[in-house]
Amino acid sequence: MLGASSGSISVDLQTIPNEPIRFMADPTERNRLEDGIIAWTWKKFIDNSSNPYELVLMPMTKASIRAMDAVQQFAAQLGIPVPETFVISGASKRGWTTWTTAAVDNVRVIGAIPIVMDMANFQKSLHHHFRVSK
């Protein structure tokens, strides 16, 4: 509907993050869902910040970048105009991914609409979230 009314290509990327996830290092051996996945990977990163790839936001961002690649490749295969720029949006965990995708690919992403997650003043915001959740 959005694509037809705006004359653009509209894509809905789902299962970001792919879930449930069970982490091998998790002694509880729980299947974790969205917030649990985010919390687990942030805890691991805060405990040992030498490996930023532990953050689930990294593969979520990479999946979003690859989705834009796929849209461009598919458009080229169909022989329709290939989009050069994107406006991206996401809610909650996908809101984080909206911020990080725009930061990583600021050439193709010309607009970002993060819904829910406030990444402005991130360090201050993270400390606030930590304090109020005790």
Consecutive 10-residue runs of the chain (134 residues): their mean pLDDT?
A: 77 88 92 91 89 88 96 97 95 87 96 78 78 73
* Domain ranges, ordered by start, for the chain: 12-132
Q: Which residues contact residue 7 at a Cβ distance below 8 angstroms, ignoring those fewer than 6 apart?
A: none
Closest Cα partner for 35 from 47, 51, 24, 19? 19
pLDDT score at 134: 62
pTM of the model: 0.79
